[in-house]
Structure 1
Amino acid sequence: MQGFNMGRYVPPDVEGTTSGNRLHGKHALGARASKLASHGVLTVRFEMPFAIWCSTCPKPTIIGQGVRFNAQKRRVGNYLSTPIWAFRIRHLDCGGDIEIRTDPKNTAYVVVEGAAKRDTGEDLVREGDSVILTDQEREALRKNAFASLEKTIADREQLMQATERIDDLEEASARHWDDPYTQNQKLRRAFRVGRKSRETAAAATEDLKDRMSLGIDLVPATEEDSRRAALVDFGPVDDDARDRALSKPLFGGGSSSKKPQASSKSVMLKSEKEASRRKESLVSELIGNTRVAKDPFLRDARAGEAKPPARLPGVKRKRTLQEDAAPAPKVLAQEASVLAGLVNYDSD
């Protein structure tokens, strides 16, 4: 039975005096602690603290930061009262062993064997960085007079540079904010102008979106947009354009489909363009009228009656009341034939 002792049976006579793991010689961590008693090694999940270069691989191979391994953790020493731990992992690509240890003195990790830390330049001490000295380093500086003198001179030079830099910043700030009221007034005036223009543009944009029922964000107009919009030329509005378009053949090779192609060298005058346009319009109208006269589906109503609406391909046309009231000739003929064929028989 699986219980609190990981399924290990404890006899009733020793129950409460010992645990199941101790009675059966097992560890609570299971197989991960198989070498803990003999070698002091515990298997843990170790995450790479920084990128390293593997020195065992035949080709230069980098192991990125955050890659996890099953590492053998053991204690290798102490720094004062803090233990130093060593993590030994195996690179699966080449089978080489890599050992990384903790460095409590510098609060960091150190690669000891099998690899080298990737140099990114972050560990270099740059000018102006504050270095924390240990007690041993301070004691060495006290004993070494020349080192102490050099350190003092360097600190004085750094302090002088920092002081000059701070003085320059204070002078620039005082010169710029000599009259805080005037500077604040300028900033608020510029903000008001920008705010009004932004509010006006936002109101115009929202009004356009409401009128056009647009559900997208409109960007501000540019000069290029205005120039392109000015080049667009819309033709005159023609009420009979729809009827003429429906009367034209969909696939036709008439003269209306042939358009004069002007060469790149020749340029037509405005009068020639107008004459050509009128000629094409006349030809198109003549062809459309001829087709309407011949095609029974495109004929208009008789003289004196209302003109029926244009027929759109693929769209059903609603029948009028007169059409519904008037029976079809075919139906009348069928009814007449049926009535003629009936024979009256007496009830006797």
Structure 2
Amino acid sequence: MQGFNMGRYVPPDLEGTISGNKLNKKHPLGSRASKPGALTVRFEMPYAVWCTTCPKETIIGQGVRFNASKTRVGSYYSTPIFAFRIKHTACGGTIEIRTDPKNTAYVVTEGGRKREDGADQVKDGDWEIMTDAEREKLRGNAFAKLEKTIEDREQLTVAKQRVEELQENNKTWDDPYEMNTRLRKEFRVGRHQREKEGHATEDLKDRMSLGIELLPEKEEDKIRAGLVDFGSILRETGEEAMAAQGLHKPLFENTITAAKTDASDGKKKLKSEVKAEQTKRDLVSELVSNTRISHDPFLHMDKRLSTTKTPVRIPGIKRKRASIDQDTRGDKTTDRITDTVNASIAAESIGSQQAHTTNAALVAYESDSE
């Protein structure tokens, strides 16, 4: 029994002698073979094609599919040549594309032209297919032969370089275990030092809140950092020199040296002498401390800086120099002190004279009782 959709019905008396399609005078492909010698197939554009039938040439992109009529139009040796005729729906024109077994390509023969994109140019390493006539012409043309020889030499140089690279890679990676061992041995040297430096760098970045990548330290960086001197901008004259000198002095003087020196002499002293020396030493220490407090530049630095003001410059008025002003002030102060001293001396002399006069008058005074 024949199953469903297994073909057309054949009577039992004709079964095995004729096929169902021939018995019913039908083509095996049905409506696809409705035209004699032509077959309807689904054809896909092998490349972009310009349609010349349109009023303005329109491009049909690569990969667009059409229902094409496939016919055999010839053969190249034993290979058939097929023609595909399609209809462009935008303008209604017909485009015919044929196979080219000689160059293994498709050729537009009617209704359009191929869009040139440079893909057909011969590249390095590609072999150009030539006919016998072209080969014979190439043999007879000396210039063509020379150009071909130069191109062959260039291709040979490139191919030779590539072969040498492949041979070198093959030689290098012939034993992967040995190469891996060698690399691990090289990286093992100084690994602990690199890890220690990495931890120190991360710690520094965390403490300084740095969001940048710190590079490893170099000997050149040490030399350049050693050449930098962070000095004062102001000239160390006067108060600045006193402040710099005070920085180098100790804050507390050592007073035990003298006592140790006396004890090392080995001479016994009386209690009164020891007490007198101790009193003297305490007095000297107190005087030194009081003198330092009064002359310490750090105690009066803020006061001097706050009270020191630069004189205001008024346009059109000529100022005196600071040194002349200071000398003038010093002379005036000296004169004032001299006048004060002279006045006090004169007052003392006048007072002594009055005292002598008063005493003499009192002595020479006669009472009424006499």
Q: State the TM-score, normalized to the length of structure 2.
A: 0.41
Rg larger for: 2
Higher fraction of helix: 2
